[in-house]
Chains A and B, each alone.
Chain A
Amino acid sequence: MKDIYELFNDIEVHDNDKKIEVSDIEKKRVFKQLSHRIVKTKKQSKWKRALSIAIVTFGVMFSAMFGLSFTAYADDIPFLGNIFKFFSSDGNYVEYDKNAEELNLLQESNGIKISINDAIFDGKTLYITYMIETHKDLGENPWVNGMPVFGDSGMSSSQKISRIEDGKYISVMEVDHLSSFELDEINVDWRIESISTEANNQGTVFEGNWEFQFDVEAVERQNLMVNETTEKDGITFTADNISITPMSFILSYSYTATYEITNNWDNVFVTVEVKDNLGNSYKTLNGRGLGDTKILVSSIATFDKVDPNANKLILTPIIELSDNDTIGYDKNGKPIKANYRSIDSEADYKEIQLEEIIVELK
């Protein structure tokens, strides 16, 4: 069936006479708005698709039944050492293996075995370790197409898949939910439609059907309301909350920038450096913004485990203001901006360090 956009190929509307004048600034503004939205539509569509499956009662019942009957428990997975430990060589995921729930679920389709080993959920982010085994050539950096779904809002995810030997890959997947509150228990539904050798279903694509359903309880955590604000040069930073888990702590914060700043700078990034009163500094495991404008952005960042002897955390917000690359000049000599900034860019850059916020640990 031809859809409307295909039909439009045969209908040429000649409306050239209707053109009206548009300034360069307006063009830039429209493009900027669009560039925010195209990313979103992609994310949303994936999520919506997953949601539409999940909310149909029949779908849930059926898939739960299939899930139980066809999900083999992977006792026969050869022991390969803890996946978290593999990825913790760079200092990340310390203590995650101790607190993780062992799942050992196995699914095989199209000659590719996927097994989920452990899962751990900190109220915000779900971490899943999994392994792919196959005789097929998935290349150096395969991509798993299909995201774990849980909770009741959109989510983002990151994953790094490493080849440990021929035909064997391991990975830790991180998935956030975007609710402002934390969840205590989640039902996870992970359907993988294909595995590809390149991102976004590109390269060689291996289609199949791998489906996992399981529940994960959040680890015990202690909440510290912080609600401290600091301000400088048009940026207002608020540390909202710290949630301490057995293996990490999660800082929720938000910031606002004045109109002058968002108008004058293409990018506003805020990171937080964290130290304690014993001199330890903490590494960020992951961090992401949840706001949809540059004006008010709420973020969360996950850090390493807190030293049990520390009684103070010292947060230093660092604001990075930067401009995108200039890729050319128009006929009036005005610079034409790209919508990206390259790593060694010489475009304007400014760093502002805000006053520190001290949080007492009880």
Chain B
Amino acid sequence: MKSNDKNFVKRLQKEKEDALEYIVNQYLPLVKGISFKILGPIQNEGLLEECINDIFLSIWNNAKKFKGDTSNFKYWVATIARFKAIDYYRRAIKNNEVEADFLEFQADFSVEEKIIQAENKEEILALINRTLDPVDQKIIVMRYFLDMGSEEISEKLNLTKSAVDSRIFRGRKKLNKQAKNYYLGGSLGERYL
């Protein structure tokens, strides 16, 4: 049996390799386009290629977490592509900064920097999950993981731009407070506070 536009998500979730081949054929133009838009300025062909591979591997490894049908699979793919490419971009930029070490001594980090610095995003994500309501979770993820502007977010969520801005402001405040309460002495506390 082969993958087609009807069954490829199911086959992917069952770890059938032909489904991977199918999604590469279908979505490489999209994945490459998104990655190139973000990583293009760095002018590193190898990094771009690695990022594209990583995107597809993440899709393969996390396929079971996709909830939806074949028609909105492409949006999920695009979101992952953007998330990964931004992560690669930030890490590349960080590596290029000679004085990055000095940042460690600065007392007050922004949420944004914490997200960038966190090699393992699970801790920060756990914090977001615990602290914020679903709408704020979405907004923070869009803002800091997907690097979307307030305007783009407001369009997506049907909110006004100022509502988004104030939710980001309050969300960050809550996160910082929670991080202090729960993680003092914990790994997050040590590393970020």
Chain A residues near B (Cβ < 8 Å): 1-16, 18-22, 26-27, 30-31, 33-35, 37-38, 41, 327, 338-339
A19 and B76 form a contact (CB under 8 A): no
Residues of A within 8 A of B122 (CB): 3
Does residue B58 face the partner (Cβ distance < 8 Å to A)? yes
A30 and B24 in contact (CB under 8 A), knowing A15-B30, A20-B29, A37-B53?
yes
Contact in complex: A15, B138 (CB < 8 Å)? no
Number of A-B contacts (CB under 8 A): 114
B79 engages A31 (CB within 8 Å): no
The stretch from B140-148, B160-168, B169-177 touching chain A is: B140-148
Decide: A12 and B72 in contact? CB cutoff 8 A. yes
Separation of A12 and B141 alpha carbons in the complex (Å) = 12
Report the Cα distance A34→B66, complex, angstroms: 20
State the B residues within 8 Å of A (CB): 2, 17-18, 20-21, 24-25, 28-30, 32-34, 36-37, 52-53, 56-58, 60-62, 65-68, 72, 74-76, 78-83, 121-122, 125-126, 129, 134, 137-138, 141-142, 145-146, 156
Give the interface SS of chain B, mostly helix, strand, loop or mixed. Answer: helix
Name 23 A/B residue pairs within 8 A (Cβ), A-sorted.
A2-B129, A3-B125, A4-B83, A5-B58, A5-B65, A7-B138, A7-B141, A8-B79, A8-B83, A9-B65, A9-B76, A11-B138, A12-B75, A12-B156, A14-B78, A20-B32, A21-B29, A22-B29, A30-B56, A34-B56, A34-B60, A38-B20, A338-B18
* Partner among A9, A31, A327 whose Cβ is within 8 Å of the Cβ of B66: A9
Partner of A13, one of B28, B53, B62, B146: B146
Q: Is the CB of A5 within 8 A of B80?
A: yes
Residue of B nearest to A10 (CB): B138
Partner of B33, one of A19, A30, A34: A19
Contact of A4 among B29, B134, B145 (CB under 8 A): B145
Smallest CB gap from B122: residue in A: A3
Q: What separation, in Å, do the CA atoms of A8 and B68 have in the docked complex?
A: 11
Bound CA–CA A280/B26 (angstroms): 54
B125 & A34 in contact (Cβ 8 Å cutoff)? no
Which A residues are CB-close (under 8 A) to B75? Answer: 12-14
Given A2-B129, A4-B145, A35-B20, answer yes or no on A12-B37 (Cβ-Cβ < 8 Å).
no
Chain A residues near B121: list those with CB within 8 A: 4
Residues of B contacting A20 in the complex (Cβ-Cβ under 8 angstroms): 29, 32-33, 36
